[in-house]
Amino acid sequence: MILPFDLILVLFVFICAIAAITVRDLLSAVVILGAYSFFMCLLWTQMAAVDVAFTEASVSAGIGTVLCIGAVSKTRRRSRD
Amino acid sequence: MFDFIVSYYNYWVFIGLMMVGFYAMMAKRNLIKKIIGMNIFQSAIIFFYISTSVKKGGVTVPILEHGHAAHAADGLEHGAHAVDIMQYANPLPHVLMLTAIVVMVATLGVALAVAIMIYRRYNTLEEDEIIKLLRRG
């Protein structure tokens, strides 16, 4: 576990979480959520949880983002808040 | 005291992320935003559990090193090789959270399906407009 790397990753995760709920464009929010999942997955790799990391990368960042993009394309892209 | 707070910074990040997700679930009016908040909330909880598995002093992946080393030459029994547990991260939270990630995506899929059905019926995703339409009947 490398401390500066860990702190930078934690910061990025936090920024992505804040950005994902602030952005008004839903497609951007969903893509930022995918980036959040990938940063989370890096964080787990360096916490020595490799199995959780690649499950997160394939399932949550992959399938989850695809499902969200599908749902946004079926509904409206603009959000009021 | 200050040292205690700094050395457990993962847990403070966990609390912050969980509150970000909770805020999105409670205060945002758009349904997709609420679902995104739920996703953040769940992965924050997974983050907490994985943080509990880390030990002090650079632990590695929980795969046994020299697990198959033969000790016949030394005249030792099988399994005489001592396993130093403090070298490895605790694998139990990993296994539990593997299940939780799959449950997370299943919940996400169901929630998005419900949101699409609501959109087809009321033609909007904003919660206040849906409630207004519901009141009107």
**Residues B95-107: tens digit of each pLDDT:** 999 999 999 999 9
A59 within domain boundaries: yes
**Cα–Cα distances in angstroms (integers) from residue B18 to residues A2, B41, B122, in the given order:** 24, 5, 31
Give the total number of structural domains in chain A: 1
Residue B80 burial by Cβ neighbours in a 10 Å radius (0-12, 13-18, 19+) = exposed
pTM of the predicted model, to two decimals?
Answer: 0.88
CATH number of the domain residue B34 falls in: 1.10.287.3510
A6 belongs to a structural domain: no
Residue A9 within any structural domain of the chain: no
Q: Cβ B43–A14 below 8 Å, yes or no?
A: no
Domain carrying residue A51: 24-75
Is position A61 within any domain? yes
Nearest residue on chain A to B40, judged by CA atoms?
A: A17
Which residue reads 């795969």 in tokens?
Answer: B63
The Cα-based distances of B114 to A27, B109, B111, B121 in angstroms read 18, 9, 5, 11
Beta carbon pairs, A and B, within 8 Å: 130
Is B74 inside any structural domain? no
Q: Which residues of B touch A46 (CB under 8 A)?
A: none
Question: Does residue A5 form part of some domain?
Answer: no
Nearest beta carbon to residue A49 from set B37, B89, B109? B89
The predicted structure's pLDDT at residue B7: 82
Domain of residue B34, residue span = 2-58+84-136
Is pLDDT above 60 for B79?
Answer: no
Contacts of B94 in chain A (CB under 8 A): 49, 51-52
Asked if A65 and A16 touch (Cβ cutoff 8 Å), the reply is no
Q: Which of B17, B29, B58 sits opposite A17 (nearest CB)?
A: B17
Checking if the pLDDT of B75 tops 80, the result is no
Does residue A80 belong to any structural domain of this protein?
A: no
Exposure of A21 in the CB half-sphere (CA atoms within 13 A): 27
Q: How far is A64 from chain B (nearest CA, A)?
A: 6
Position B8 in a domain? yes
CA distance A72 to A59: 19
CA B81 to chain centre: 34
What is the count of structural domains for chain B? 1
- On average, the pLDDT of chain A sits at 92
pLDDT interval class at B81 (50, 70, 90): low
| Residue A44 within a domain | yes
3-class secondary structure, A67: helix
Q: Does an H or E element contain B9, and which?
A: helix B9-27
Task: Please report how the helices A3-22 and A26-45 are oriented relative to each other, as an axis angle in degrees rounded to 10.
Answer: 160
A8: amino acid identity, one letter: I
In-domain check, residue B36? yes
